Chain A
Amino acid sequence: MSGTGEKGSATTKTPGDFLKAIRGRPVVVKLNSGVDYRATTKTPGDFLKAIRGRPVVVKLNSGVDYRGILACLDGYMNIAMEQTEEYVNGQLKNKYGDAFIRGNNVLYISTSKRTLADGA
């Protein structure tokens, strides 16, 4: 029933089926830029639940990084952060107590292992 890895020509698999089937499995995600990401899968929803209150790095399309504690976020990737530090080209440029980032600017949200102020 799972269909995963089945080769029978009768089995059709929509993108929705595929997404259900790959949960928890190792995957490669390839971007248009050619960059590969290799990891085990979690749904975006699982990820968003898991990272609330954790230190994160948010990279914008412009290339600017924001490091801070994720206060909250929504399905548009709108983000509220605390203890925010703004990095341009890896250099600390600004600090904000609270910051709101509109989701359309967000390239990715990453959990950060590094402590704050450890920076760049």
Chain B
Amino acid sequence: MANNPSQLLPSELIDRCIGSKIWVIMKGDKELVGTLRGFDVYVNMVLEDVTEYEITAEGRRITKLDQILLNGNNIAILVPGGSPDPE
């Protein structure tokens, strides 16, 4: 079952993203794009070279961060390959 290559567990998909860019969409108005370094069973994530986007009434507020541990509790969606937006 698990060794059927056509079936990919969600955790295996995330594991394949390690080392590459990933787009994290949070519950609420927040998104992050960064390089995935690792994750655990709660999908807490270690990200590097992160850009954080906070969507506010005045527009997007951007914060750059070198390295973060992101609490998995508020993660909604993970998109491998990063954001389609330039910056």
Chain A residues within CB distance 8 Å of chain B: 5, 7, 9-19, 22, 28, 32, 34
Contact = CB atoms under 8 A, between A and B. Distances in A.
Contacts of B38: 12-15, 17-18
Contacts of A28: 65
A109 to B, nearest CB: 19
Is chain B's interface secondary structure helix, strand, loop, or mixed overall?
Answer: strand
Contacts of A18: 37-38, 46, 67, 69
B84 to A, nearest CB: 22
A12 B19 contact: yes
A15 B45 contact: yes
A15 B48 contact: no
Nearest to B56: A34
A106 B43 CA distance: 25
A14 B72 CA distance: 13
**Secondary structure of the A side of the interface?**
loop
Contacts of B45: 15
Interface of B: 18-20, 28, 37-40, 44-46, 48, 54, 65-67, 69, 74
B23 to A, nearest CB: 18
Contacts of A22: 69
B50 to A, nearest CB: 11
A11 B18 CA distance: 9
Contact of A17 (B18, B20, B46): B46
A10, A16, A18 interface centre (most CB from chain B within 10 Å): A18
Nearest to A14: B38
- Please list the 3 inter-chain residue pairs (A to B) with the smallest Cβ-Cβ separation, ordered nearest first: A9-B19, A13-B37, A14-B38
Given A12-B38, A17-B46, A32 B19 contact: no
Nearest to A17: B38
